[in-house]
Amino acid sequence: MTVRLLLLILASVSLSALAQLALKLGTGAAAEARTAGVGGEVGGLLQSPMVFVGLALYGLGALLWLFVLGRAPLSLAYPFVGIGFILTMVAGAMFLNEDVGLARVAGTLLIAGGCVLVARSA
């Protein structure tokens, strides 16, 4: 695996994790708008800029992922998606004050270990 390919994979996975964070923030704002009577859940989602930011980040991440798939075997590239679980958990803990218990940390370490094993097999 080349450094360029690894960077493309990490960028795509990171954009997906950032998209999750943006969507979570956007849906929170949409729920507040719904309770304020702005026009239902869909109306609240359509009025939330963070929802659109999240969708744009997903789109950009998907474009990068297409480049990755054109240059790497799927069985090599796809396990790196597991890093997104780790990044998303860390982002939730840091920016959303979500509780991260021992079981969740252990699970993410198992995912990371699997990513390392797959990368070393390349």
Q: CA distances (Å), 84 to each of 3, 17, 20, 90, in order?
A: 19, 5, 10, 10
Residue 37, pLDDT score: 56
Give the domain ranges of the chain. Answer: 3-120
The phi and psi torsions of 70 (rounded to 5 degrees) equal -75, -10
* Least confident stretch, 8-12, 22-26, 60-64, 77-81: 77-81
**pLDDT tens-digit profile of 50-81?**
999 999 999 999 999 999 999 998 888 888 88
Q: Report pTM.
A: 0.80
Mean pLDDT (the chain, rounded): 86
Q: If pLDDT is split at 50, 70 and 90, which confidence band does 106 have? A: very high
Length of the chain: 122
